[in-house]
Structure 1
Amino acid sequence: MYKLLIADDEALEREGLELMIRHILPDQFEFLHAENGRKAIQLAEEHRPDMVFMDIKMPGIQGLEAVRQILEKLPATQIVMITAHDYFSYAKEGLLLGVRDYLLKPARREEVAEVLRQLIAVIQEERRRRNEQLELEEKLAHLLPLAENELTLMLMLEHVQDLEPQQLAGLLDIQVSKGYAMVLSFPRPGGAAWEEFRLVRREIYEAVKQFARTGLSCLAGPLIGHQLALFIPLPPGRSGYSQRVSSLDLGERLRGYVGQRFGLPVSIGIGSIREGWDGLSRSYREAVRVCADHHDSFTVHHYDDIIQSSGQSAVSLDEEKKLLDAVLQRSKQEAIERFGRLYAYFEQGGEQPLPALRGEVTGLLLFLARSVHSVAGAEILASLNAAEDPVSLRLSAESWVERLIDSLEEEQEHNRSHVHQRALLYISQQYKEDISMEQTAEYVNLSPHYFSKLFRQHEGETFIDYVTRLRINEAKRLIAGEQLNLKEICYEVGYKDPNYFSRVFKKATGMTPSEFRQQHEKQGPC
């Protein structure tokens, strides 16, 4: 059903046009009548018709002015001008305003029918496009929270790849050059406050996201256990100190909001302002640390303030890099020694509370796992969270350092094995031709020297010996077949000189090809 507004100062014209349309397309229209331009504008704004048939010459507000005002409010409305020959110039002006078509009085049935078919086709196409747009928006509305969860988990688990976060940020329409992380830590499991938090955790999650995003672009991670992470990109142009003050103010406002609305305490940790995705991951580690340090006080703490006031210095990125280098070089002894130094720093002579110590160690292990492209982030978290004292935490962490090195060695061995299998397949396809070790090394994209070493390691023989063995075995099979002469067999297995073939064959079998054939014939049936 379509709504059609007919605007004409002559009632007979309106009724005649309605009657004609009812006969052309019965039961498809709901009709509205307007006797002047003012009434046409009022009815259009009230009923939002799909089509308007507008007479140009009417008392009061003229048809063209009514068209202009209607299209200003309802640009999708399809308007047809009705005019006499004397006002044809007005009809042309209407077309410039956005009028779809025009009819000359008296309108003929065929012309009206054709105009209506065209208008219906346009309206149906617009409705189809609108439905597709709404469906796309609905799918996007479901996709965006998933993309946000994926991106924030990458940052929390330090599993950031160069391209993926940028793609997800583009989907979320967020630009990140620098920023910081904020961690909200609610009551821990076990007490009455935890039970109260557990009952309203979903409501808290949505409320905190909405509050934080008021006038601020940020990413909200999933509520894991009793903690919620926010990643807040920052615009350029403000000093680090002023940004720190702003972040503390936001933290205080969030703490007050949660306390007032839900009656729950919350401890908030804020990391340093850092650049890029790796920087945001590090800021998250810092926020987790200070949040764990001061959880019982349920206040807001900034990592930079804690470092400055305690006289500590932040762990050098160079120290972390040296540990990573030892892991990448598969040097377990050096890696464990370097980890021990960092652990001693985190422990601060045994004065560091276990939650804070766990936060530091977890962040470091996740950094190592991400850097070696390990997918064990979730296992590392579960393992370290299960540690009940500093000793078991250290042993678990050292075990994970060794496991990460082992995984690198396994991956390297797998890659070597894969390359070796490709080489064997290539040789099996080419050994009857003029094949060389250099050609095979190039095929698997290794240097000849490294390929030769790798091949001997896997096969226990040189490349030449391996190819020779394949050729001689094939030659023995063909000789036993008795379908080819020895010269043909020589060429068939990849040799160009029968004499050379004979010498190689004798060296490998202890007899010449002729002697091998004679022996085979003697052993065969009489």
Structure 2
Amino acid sequence: MLKLLIVDDEQIEREGLIAILRKGFPDLVMEQAKNGRAAVEMVPSYRPDLVLMDIKMPGMSGLEAVELIGSEYPDIKFIMVTAYDTFEYARKALKLGVKDYLLKPSKAGEIIETVGKALGDIERERTERKTRTQEMDALRKMLPIVEADVVTQLLFDHVHEVHLDEMVGLLGARTAKEAFVMLMMLLPGSSADAFYASVKDKMRQLGNGWVGAMSGRQIPLIVFREPEKSYRSQAASVVQQLLAVKQRVPGTDCFIGIGNPYGSFGQIRLSYREALFCSADPGLPSRHRFFEDMPPSTDLKEDTRSEKRLPEHVRFGEWDQIAAAVSGLIGRYETAGAGLVQVQQRVLESLWVVFRTLLEMGVEADRPLFSFQVQDYRQLRTEAQCLLERMKEAAQAHRSRLEPDAVHEIKRYIQEHSQEEISLETIAKRVGLSPFYISKMFKEQLGVNYIDFLTECRIEKAKTFMLDPEFSLKEIAFEVGYNDPNYFSKVFKKTTGVAPTDYRNTLLGKKV
């Protein structure tokens, strides 16, 4: 219910306005103030939506009262009422944000029209504020889901240009020119879900990074560089804060691998591979390790370049390339005459990268370990090949057992819930697989990624709604799962090649 305050030093003027306005707006709540000072004192308790303010009053003038009230309550609207039609008064009133101007005496129709226009504007603004509040609440709830999806797309190449730009925009301007990846490896026996929730809360407090979906007891973080700190000091500070989190979750332990910083989103997955590589051995005394601190060895730079691609090869089932990378690593060390103990450890680290990648894909595999100290390079090659073969068999068995049913269930779930906020993480929990693995598997079997399929489902539903003239395009956008009608129009045109308005006009025209 809207409230009006009439301020005038003449009671007959106040009563006359009330009588006129009561006929035009019977539901309007109205109160009176006999001067500017009384109005200022009355506003905090009464909180009017609109004030009809006389300009010339003894003591405090109407303009002074408007300035005082407006500074404390900027949402209150004002209409000035005066017998003085001068430019100076009008100029001052407009400067103070006054909504409109009424001259004494005014006809009843003019008063009702002016006040009605102001009340209409107030109602519209109130509705818009309510809508914005609801949208912001919905946005706050979905931001963690958007954040996890953005990290997944950036680290694992599942990039959809329209949606990625939109999602990064939703997350706000927290990004910097450089970023690096920190990969948290939860050790066996840890309280994974409770720890993951605590990590997300801590990163939200720090406000300098994004948290990806947890998979295979791995939590990837994209951390944005703070220019006032060095890379190492910033990373060490974040590590300290994250390790403090595990103290609050009993029975939890972790190891953190830290990749190098890179200057673009397109390169950030390189930092992830480095973080994965340097976290291959979580048994180190320190609970974290920088990739740049990896111990130097013969031809190390060449080794790490090929090994960085191991996670990608595992996800695409490219076992020949994996075997070639490991064999090449052994060959380079053999040529350089490196000691077998060192080479066996380096090969084991590479095999652990493969093992960790399988874990995040949801594959149950035995941890690769050499059962004995090898005596020569031939023996090392044979043992490495056997360990790789076991992991390959586990991956293939997992794939043949789960993929057909999983893709069918995912497809059906998206079709039935396309109007909701659906993320890879949501789907992963439903089918019990890794978000990263689901995206790859879905695209391999259906030829499109899950976001494109979700978009197709939404657009098809929108076309159905367009057959009913009772639905506005804005309502249709909300019904099919888009909170922003403008974004809905952009996606619709990109998908169909036609703007939604033109498509609907054609559709309804054909129907007639």
State the TM bucket, normalised to the shorter chain.
0.5 to 0.7
- Aligned residue identity for 1:54: M
Q: CA deviation at 1:318?
A: 5.4
1:230 aligns with 2:221: yes
Residue 207 of structure 1: which of 194, 201, 205 is its match? 201
Distance in 1, matches of 2:306 and 2:49, equals 70
- Aligned residue for 1:188? 188
Aligned residues: 376
- Aligned residue for 2:42? 43
SS at match of 1:32: strand
Distance in 1, matches of 2:367 and 2:319, equals 25
Distance in 1, matches of 2:36 and 2:250, equals 57
Distance in 2, matches of 1:34 and 1:152, equals 59
Distance in 1, matches of 2:224 and 2:34, equals 59
Q: CA deviation at 1:81?
A: 1.1
Distance in 2, matches of 1:335 and 1:202, equals 31
SS at match of 1:350: helix
Distance in 1, matches of 2:170 and 2:40, equals 41
- Aligned residue for 1:499? none
TM-score by length of 2: 0.61
| Cα distance per residue 1:47-104 (max 9 Å; x no partner) | 4321101011122221012112333333332211111247675245323432222223
| Cα distance per residue 1:171-209 (max 9 Å; x no partner) | 4234454321112333423xxxx3xx2563464243222
- Aligned residue for 2:259? 271
Q: Is the 2:186–2:192 Cα contact (8 Å) retained in structure 1?
A: no
1:33 aligns with 2:32: yes
Q: CA deviation at 1:218?
A: 0.8
1:4 aligns with 2:20: no
Q: CA deviation at 1:317?
A: 6.1
Distance in 1, matches of 2:70 and 2:78, equals 9
Going from structure 1 to structure 2, the CA distance change for 1:380 and 1:59 (only over 3 Å counts) comes to closer
1:313 aligns with 2:300: yes
Going from structure 1 to structure 2, the CA distance change for 1:2 and 1:176 (only over 3 Å counts) comes to same
Residue 389 of structure 1: which of 359, 362, 368 is its match? 368
SS at match of 2:362: helix
Unaligned stretches of 5+ residues in structure 2: 334-340, 370-383, 398-439, 448-512
Going from structure 1 to structure 2, the CA distance change for 1:70 and 1:278 (only over 3 Å counts) comes to same
- Aligned residue for 1:372? none
- Aligned residue for 1:154? 153
- Aligned residue for 2:271? 283
| Cα distance per residue 1:400-426 (max 9 Å; x no partner) | 9999xxx9xxx9xx9xxxxxxxxxxxx
Q: Is the 1:323–1:339 Cα contact (8 Å) retained in structure 2?
A: no
1:70 aligns with 2:50: no
Distance in 2, matches of 1:253 and 1:300, equals 12
- Aligned residue for 1:430? none
Higher radius of gyration, 1 or 2: 1
Going from structure 1 to structure 2, the CA distance change for 1:322 and 1:113 (only over 3 Å counts) comes to closer
Distance in 1, matches of 2:192 and 2:52, equals 61
Q: CA deviation at 1:16?
A: 3.5
TM-score by length of 1: 0.59
Q: CA deviation at 1:123?
A: 1.5
Residue 328 of structure 2: which of 334, 341, 354 is its match? 341
Distance in 2, matches of 1:170 and 1:236, equals 22
Q: Is the 2:277–2:308 Cα contact (8 Å) retained in structure 1?
A: no
RMSD: 4.3
Q: Kindly report which structure 2 residues correspond to 1:416-455, keeping only aligned pairs within 5 A, or say none.
A: none
| Cα distance per residue 1:287-309 (max 9 Å; x no partner) | 2333341347462322222335x
Q: Is the 2:154–2:269 Cα contact (8 Å) retained in structure 1?
A: yes
- Aligned residue identity for 2:389: L
- Aligned residue identity for 1:282: L
Going from structure 1 to structure 2, the CA distance change for 1:244 and 1:334 (only over 3 Å counts) comes to closer
SS at match of 1:102: strand
- Aligned residue for 2:20? 20
Going from structure 1 to structure 2, the CA distance change for 1:143 and 1:253 (only over 3 Å counts) comes to closer
Distance in 1, matches of 2:302 and 2:394, equals 20
Report which structure shows greater RCO (CA 8 Å, sep ≥6).
2
Distance in 1, matches of 2:323 and 2:193, equals 43
SS at match of 1:349: helix
Q: CA deviation at 1:6?
A: 1.3
Q: Percent identity?
A: 28
| Cα distance per residue 1:146-167 (max 9 Å; x no partner) | 3211121234435457776555
Q: Is the 2:299–2:332 Cα contact (8 Å) retained in structure 1?
A: no
Distance in 2, matches of 1:182 and 1:207, equals 16
- Aligned residue identity for 2:82: T
Q: Is the 1:178–1:280 Cα contact (8 Å) retained in structure 2?
A: no
1:361 aligns with 2:354: yes
- Aligned residue for 2:288? 300
- Aligned residue identity for 1:249: S
Going from structure 1 to structure 2, the CA distance change for 1:263 and 1:105 (only over 3 Å counts) comes to farther
- Aligned residue for 1:524? none
- Aligned residue for 2:119? 120
